[in-house]
């Protein structure tokens, strides 16, 4: 991995640096990257070439989070990895604008994933980070998007900046230490206690936290929102005061589709209700991870007229099919006890050649099971095999995605 320091990064912002970046962006992946780098070093200083190659690689990678915009932005490796993806940041910025926020302090701004979205939504931003290179990158990004006038980047410890003039705060603490990811909110930088104190000082406060945050750690007066993108849970956000719109919420991108419990009233916290288990119906639903994390399974079951297979399993089943963005739906064709020998005979009889194997609440290795089932049919004869539990017993459900 090639680390870039502040001086090298500044070189990228010069006319020469930009020209080299544009040249790299226009080129396709070289068959011989070593020879391509050597050729560039004949025309540009070696440090600039190395910084530009790193930046170009990061920009290409960053398309996953920032789409086409990545080509205009600057990144550091750690800054990119910790940044909020564009769609999620935009969703958050909409929440802040809806609450009437005019100037937000984005504490721990990183390379600006959230700050840029706030600014693009018309909110002025005081963006604070303690790392000088990260601040330089955030500044360059605001300029690259024509948002420099809206984004004031300050290099400082967030505990030491004045919040005067800001009517809201957003905090996205660093959740990684030298040895990797940090799960305990007390070990975030700055720690959870700082976040809680912040919400007491500024009523319109929002924090980004890990999706796995225990519900017991969530302040009752705040809203907790879990956001998934393309089915993967990306983050949880906690919102206080005028930023609160519900008690718990699951928002699915790219929709967005949002399922919520409770109201904006902080004195009202909607207690999660788990759906009752019952008989296996002809339809099965696999809820989106954000719905599960937000403990909205009971609310989704109400919407789908559904029940669970087992109190410990997050699959829902129903007698009727309802189209929903909050769960993947399946039609169950067969319900079998989980027994490899019987399953093998069943699969042979049906002549399946392709099986998507899913499991929940069953300690199996899908790849090993697939080998054991010895699929012999044509590849086009496909089904989904769901190994799970029904009222405490292991079952195998054969199904087709709807």
157 vs 274 by CB, closer to ligand SAM: 157
Among 144, 145, 174, 328, binds ligand SAM (CB under 6 A): 174
Q: Is there binding between residue 105 and ligand SAM (CB under 6 A)?
A: no
Kindly state the smallest distance separating residue 119's Cβ from ligand SAM, in Å.
12
Q: Is there binding between residue 288 and ligand SAM (CB under 6 A)?
A: no
Phi, psi values for residue 9, rounded to 5°: -65, -45
Strand partners, 399: 332, 384
173 vs 275 by CB, closer to ligand SAM: 173
Go through the chain and tell me how many residues it has: 402
Among 56, 129, 223, 310, binds ligand SAM (CB under 6 A): 129
CA distances 332 to 20, 195, 313, 359, Å, are 57, 47, 17, 15
> Quick one: which segment of 82-90, 95-103, 290-298, 343-351 binds ligand SAM (CB under 6 A)?
82-90
For residue 320, the tally of other CB atoms under 10 A from its CB is 10
> Quick one: which segment of 49-57, 103-111, 231-239, 304-312 binds ligand SAM (CB under 6 A)?
103-111
Kindly state the smallest distance separating residue 92's Cβ from ligand SAM, in Å.
10
108 vs 123 by CB, closer to ligand SAM: 108
Q: Is there binding between residue 172 and ligand SAM (CB under 6 A)?
A: yes
> Quick one: which segment of 124-132, 210-218, 339-347, 355-363 binds ligand SAM (CB under 6 A)?
124-132
**Count of residues near ligand SAM by CB under 6 A:** 21
53 vs 128 by CB, closer to ligand SAM: 128
Among 54, 55, 83, 308, binds ligand SAM (CB under 6 A): 83
197 vs 351 by CB, closer to ligand SAM: 197
Give me the 132-151 binding string for ligand SAM, x by CB under 6 A, dash otherwise.
Answer: --x-----------------
Query: What is the chain's Cα-based Rg?
Result: 25
Q: Please, which of residues 176-215 interact with ligand SAM by CB under 6 A?
A: 189-190
Q: Is there binding between residue 109 and ligand SAM (CB under 6 A)?
A: yes
Instruction: Measure the CA–CA gap between 402 and 328, rounded to whole angstroms.
Output: 8
> Which residue's C-beta sits nearest to ligand SAM?
113
Kindly state the smallest distance separating residue 52's Cβ from ligand SAM, in Å.
21
Among 158, 168, 243, 357, binds ligand SAM (CB under 6 A): 158
83 vs 318 by CB, closer to ligand SAM: 83
> Quick one: which segment of 20-28, 57-65, 125-133, 270-278 binds ligand SAM (CB under 6 A)?
125-133
Kindly state the smallest distance separating residue 160's Cβ from ligand SAM, in Å.
8
HEC-encoded secondary structure of the chain: CCCCCHHHHHHHCCHHHHHHHHHHHHCCCCCCHHHHHHHHHCCCCHHHHHHHHHHHHHHHHHHHHHHHHHHHCCCCHHHHHHCCCHHHHHHHHHHHHHCCCCEEEEECCCCCHHHHHHHHCCCEEEEEECCHHHHHHHHHHHHHCCCCCCEEEEECCHHHCCCCCCCEEEECCECEECCEECCCHHHCECCHHHHHHHHHHCCCEEEEECCCCCHHHCCCCCEEEEEEECCEEEEEEEECHHHCCCCEEEEEECCCEEEEECCCCCCCCCCCCCCCECCCCCEEEEECHHHHHCCCHHHHHHHHCEEECCCCCCCEEECCCCCCCCEEEEEEEEEEECCHHHHHHHHHHHCCCEEEEEECCCCCCHHHHHHHHCCCCCCCCEEEEEEEEECCEEEEEEEEEC
Q: Is there binding between residue 289 and ligand SAM (CB under 6 A)?
A: no
Instruction: Measure the CA–CA gap between 374 and 387, rounded to whole angstroms.
Output: 17
Give me the 229-268 binding string for ligand SAM, x by CB under 6 A, dash otherwise.
Answer: ----------------------------------------
Among 9, 101, 112, 205, binds ligand SAM (CB under 6 A): 112
User: What spatial distance separates the first Cα and last Cα of the chain, rounded to whole Å?
Assistant: 44
Contacting residues toward ligand SAM, per CB under 6 A:
82-84, 108-114, 128-131, 134, 157-158, 172, 174, 189-190
């Amino acid at each position: 991995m090639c680390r870039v320091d502040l001086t090298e990064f500044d070189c990228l912002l010069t006319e020469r640096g930009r020209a080299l970046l544009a040249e790299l962006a226009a080129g396709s992946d070289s068959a011989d990257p070593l020879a391509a780098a050597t050729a560039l070093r004949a025309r540009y200083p070696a440090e600039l070439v190395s910084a530009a190659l790193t930046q170009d690689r990061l920009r290409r990678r960053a398309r996953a989070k920032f789409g086409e915009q990545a080509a205009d932005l600057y990144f550091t490796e750690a800054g990119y990895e910790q940044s909020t993806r564009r769609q999620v940041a935009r969703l958050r910025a909409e929440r802040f604008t809806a609450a009437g926020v005019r100037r937000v302090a984005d504490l721990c701004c990183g390379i600006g994933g959230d700050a840029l979205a706030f600014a693009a939504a018309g909110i002025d931003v005081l963006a604070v980070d303690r790392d000088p290179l990260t601040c330089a990158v955030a500044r360059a990004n605001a300029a690259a998007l024509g948002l420099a006038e809206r984004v004031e980047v300050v290099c400082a410890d967030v505990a030491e900046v004045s919040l005067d003039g800001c009517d809201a705060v957003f905090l996205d603490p660093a959740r990684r230490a030298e040895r990797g990811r940090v799960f305990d909110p007390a070990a975030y930088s700055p720690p959870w206690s700082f976040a809680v104190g912040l919400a007491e000082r500024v009523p319109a406060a929002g924090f980004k936290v890990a999706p796995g945050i225990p519900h017991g750690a969530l302040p009752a007066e705040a809203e907790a929102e879990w956001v998934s993108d393309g089915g993967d849970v990306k983050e949880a956000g906690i919102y206080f005061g005028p930023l609160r719109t519900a008690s718990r919420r699951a928002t699915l991108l790219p929709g967005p589709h949002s399922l919520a419990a409770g109201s904006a009233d902080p004195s009202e916290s909607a207690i999660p209700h788990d759906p009752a288990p019952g008989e296996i119906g002809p339809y099965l639903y696999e809820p989106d991870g954000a719905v599960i994390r937000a403990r909205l399974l009971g609310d989704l079951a109400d919407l789908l007229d559904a029940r669970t297979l087992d109190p410990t399993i997050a699959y829902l089943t129903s007698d009727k099919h309802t189209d929903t963005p909050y769960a993947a739906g399946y039609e169950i064709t067969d319900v079998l006890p989980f027994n490899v020998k019987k399953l093998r005979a069943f699969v042979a009889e049906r002549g399946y050649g392709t099986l998507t194997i899913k499991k929940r609440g069953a300690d199996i290795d899908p790849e090993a099971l697939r080998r054991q089932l010895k699929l012999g049919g044509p590849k086009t004869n496909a089904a989904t095999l769901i190994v799970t539990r029904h009222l405490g017993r292991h079952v195998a459900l054969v199904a087709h995605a709807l």
